[in-house]
Chain A
Amino acid sequence: MAEKIYSCSFTGLLCRIIEVEADISNGMPSFSIVGLGDTSVQESKERVRLGIKNSGMEFPKTRKTINLAPAQVRKQGALFDLPIALSMLIESKQVPKEKFENSIIVGELSLTGKVNRIAGALLITQFAKEQGFEKIFLPADNALEASFIEGIEIIPIEDLKDIVEFASGKKEILPYKSANEDSDQNTCDFTFIDKIIGLEKAKRALTIGACGRHNILLHGSPGCGKTILCRAFKHLLPQMTKEEILETTKIYSVSGLLNADSPLVKSRPFREVHHTATMSSIIGGGNIPRPGEISLAHNGILFFDEIAEFNPTVLDSLRQPLEDKFINISRINLAIKFPSNFMFLATMNPCPCGFKTDKKIRCICTDSQIGNYQKRLSGPLLDRFDIFVEVEKSNIHEVLEKESQPKNPQKSSHPSFMENAEKMQKERFSKSSISRNGDMDIEDIKKYCELTQDAKDILNRASEKLNLSNRGYLKIIKISRTIADMDLKEKIETPHILEALQYRRTS
């Protein structure tokens, strides 16, 4: 009689229940695992054999067959070690089965019998709960991460001996209860951006961007502070909601990027990518697709420093995910959808030498050089940036002098801006699926963005004069909505439109 226990596998963000059955029959000694497992599944034979032996139990000597069902689904990863070992111990009557009814078992074994951390624990726990399982047995190292999901009993397993003693009633393992959630630390920290002196226009633009999640492109001469501004910017982002933490942590979980110290992604991700990055590292990919940088930046920021140095093909592959907020990765075996709702932040120089917009140093580039440089960013990609800011170099003497002075009291008004915008957006989008002004589509804009008559006139006049595209027109409205939110205004007024118009592309 083959005994059956349940485990779980995942591809991308999609889980599937896997039945693990073991059969031990008389015959020549052999050990085979069937069910389309990859090399790490095949190698689990050795881990299971030594894990069982070194935990002081008997590894059956006869003919052993493990079946992972459904048979046609490819399975990968070492998370079947524990269920394979257990099903074998159950089949050889060394362990009673009763305690494993209605539960999912996952875990990787080490040769000593210790149960090692696995990737994707959060995802699996959530899926197990949705499927109506009562219990999940998982590595103790993953318990904290998994405890984010409520409504399922999480049983942390230290080593194989633990679970065997638990099953035979010799030892009690209490379901894991997460310690009270960490005090909500306010992630909005202005000290970093306040330390940067001058560059007020860029700071204002970044604040707007942070409030409404608008994509920003900064350009300016080398050394003017673009990169520093962007790095300081990550401290400006509003806190993540519980759903956002869950979504982002899931992606990190399947990528195996979580560890015991940081089991959850609690602050918004800030992914800085070097310009040598390949398409599949950014978009996601591989034989079995893994999330790329755009998905790792989900609910956070994707930062491209020196965007003009990136491979143009890579940049253009961002067009679709920027618009759709998800990416579909298709491979011959399967297609996987990863969310990629990020804010895109980039910096660039205006020309190869970098000084085209500088007031003091003369640019030495020829017109064709400048043209070629700017052509590296395609029009459609540029069109997806909402805010364009030219960063002007601030005077270094000023910077050094100001440093010694007490902090400018006027700066403290920033946080209230952000709180206002947070509050307004929360109220506005409480019933809809989006959460930020930057995510609004045309229907939402019609519904939520009411302009005063004056503002409407100005916008229409401007759009005629400046030949705004339709997308550009909507973009101005979205940005002005955010600016109005920062002022706690229900209707968008003239100053908001005028400020938003400043941030469009000038060329």
Chain B
Amino acid sequence: MDKMWLGKTGEVIAEKFLIANNYKILQKNVYFREGELDIVAFEIITQEIVFVEVKTRSSNLFGEPEESVTHEKKIKTLKAAINFLNLAREIRHKSWRIDVIAVKLTREGKFLGIKHFKNILNG
């Protein structure tokens, strides 16, 4: 199975999941030199900007998807998030956080489960 396709599928699932949980999607796949943001969303209940890193896995051989979020990846996401905030004036004053959404699929691409880790940097 194609890695790209896997990632995209995961992101689509994560997006649907967020919308179902009262989030508004602001932007997707934002690229910066420092790093990228898979999903930028706005949580309506808490009024927070949420930067989401989506991790998708189709096998458990190398551990859970969330285990593959390394420290470097966290820093990259953080830098990208700061960049994003600098550019987006209208939301700069809002509080924000970084989340990880871990999506598990079967080898054939069927949905197995989803986990949402909120505020991974200091939670």
Contact = CB atoms under 8 A, between A and B. Distances in A.
A61 B67 contact: yes
B67 A27 contact: no
A31 to B, nearest CB: 11
A442 interface: no
Number of chain B interface residues as a range: under 10
A52 to B, nearest CB: 15
Contacts of B123: 27
Interface residues of A, number: 4
A28 interface: yes
A29 interface: yes
B123 to A, nearest CB: 6
A29 B68 CA distance: 9
Nearest to A29: B67
B61 to A, nearest CB: 14
Contacts of A29: 64, 66-67
B20 interface: no
Nearest to B68: A29
A307 B69 CA distance: 62
Interface string B42-60: 0000000000000000000
A273 to B, nearest CB: 48
Do most interface residues of chain B lie in helix, strand or loop, or is the interface mixed? loop
Do most interface residues of chain A lie in helix, strand or loop, or is the interface mixed? loop
B100 A28 contact: yes
A28 B121 CA distance: 9
B117 A28 contact: yes
Contacts of A28: 66, 69, 100, 117, 120
Interface string B64-95: 10110100000000000000000000000000
Contacts of A61: 63-64, 67
Interface string A167-180: 00000000000000
A340 to B, nearest CB: 47
Interface string A1-40: 0000000000000000000000000011100000000000
A27 B67 CA distance: 11
A27 B69 CA distance: 12
A61 B69 CA distance: 13
Contacts of B100: 28
B114 to A, nearest CB: 15
B64 A27 contact: no
A28 B66 CA distance: 7
A28 B63 CA distance: 13
A28 B117 CA distance: 6
Interface in A46-75: 61
Nearest to A25: B123
A27 B63 CA distance: 15
Contacts of B66: 28-29
11 contacts: A27-B120, A27-B123, A28-B69, A28-B117, A28-B120, A29-B64, A29-B66, A29-B67, A61-B63, A61-B64, A61-B67
What are the 9 closest A-B residue pairs judged by CB atoms, nearest first?
A28-B120, A29-B67, A28-B117, A28-B66, A29-B66, A61-B64, A27-B117, A28-B100, A27-B123
Interface of B: 63-64, 66-67, 69, 100, 117, 120, 123
Interface of A: 27-29, 61
